[in-house]
Chain A
Amino acid sequence: NAGVTQTPKFQVLKTGQSMTLQCAQDMNHNSMYWYRQDPGMGLRLIYYSASEGTTDKGEVPNGYNVSRLNKREFSLRLESAAPSQTSVYFCASSVNTEAFFGQGTRLTVV
């Protein structure tokens, strides 16, 4: 039981490049989330998925797209990366009263 697994752990992109951050959970949770965390700040919700086949915008969705591929996987895509998207990205899944977080993807856009 690995919990929430994110790949990659680190990534450097050039401005304008695209990439997809992968997230998978093995706890059979319905809800999954993507957050970003900028230095010295809390986590801000980018997108979430209440169940397989549904996605909704969070606080800061601009510049991102998501796909809930199946119940296990929820990916985050940057179509044209910008320096403002340099951040640490966390994926989470939840059931009932608790949410579980991955270890994060540290993304730098130069």
Chain B
Amino acid sequence: DAKTTQPPSMDCAEGRAANLPCNHSTISGNEYVYWYRQIHSQGPQYIIHGLKNNETNEMASLIITEDRKSSTLILPHATLRDTAVYYCIVRVANWAGGFKTIFGAGTRLFVKA
């Protein structure tokens, strides 16, 4: 699985969009970009994933560059409850095959009132 690089921390004002970047320059053609978050010390929570097209769901949007070497997770209207560590992961899509997944240190997002 390709490695990723994320800033260690970011701040965002409540109600504004939070844009979390991730670099994955060694991504392979069959690898997807996944985002998870971990609130306080709870288990990680799935947010979104994508291959090359932009994706949106009820939680967030994922923008992947055309060369797929970087991506941005967008929380459109951040709330205090979005304060968490956000992990960007690059891996093949099928988790069921038992592939290993490496979680890095992630980005600690602080949403401020």
Q: Chain B interface secondary structure, helix, strand, loop or mixed?
A: loop
Counting CB contacts under 8 A, is B93 at the interface?
Answer: yes
Complex partner residue of A98 from B87, B95, B106, CB under 8 angstroms = B95
* B41-49, B60-68, B69-77: which lies at the interface: B41-49
What residues on A are CB-neighbors of B100 within 8 Å? 45, 48, 58-59
Complex partner residue of B102 from A40, A45, A49, A54, CB under 8 angstroms = A45
- Count residues of chain A with CB under 8 A from any CB of chain B: 35
Q: Which of B41, B98, B100 has the most CB of A within 10 A?
A: B98
Contact between A96 and B44, CB atoms less than 8 A apart:
no
Per the bound structure, the CA–CA distance linking A68 and B105 in Å amounts to: 28
Per the bound structure, the CA–CA distance linking A43 and B45 in Å amounts to: 13
What residues on A are CB-neighbors of B45 within 8 Å? 101
Complex partner residue of B105 from A31, A41, A100, A102, CB under 8 angstroms = A41
Counting CB contacts under 8 A, is B29 at the interface?
Answer: no
Indicate whether A95 sits within 8 Å of B101 (C-beta atoms), given known contacts A42-B106, A103-B42, A104-B43. Answer: no
Q: Which residues of A line the B interface, CB within 8 A?
A: 4, 29-31, 33, 35, 40-45, 48-51, 54, 56, 58-59, 88, 90, 92, 94-104, 106
Closest 10 CB pairs of A and B: A50-B98, A101-B43, A94-B95, A43-B103, A42-B103, A42-B104, A42-B105, A31-B98, A101-B44, A98-B46
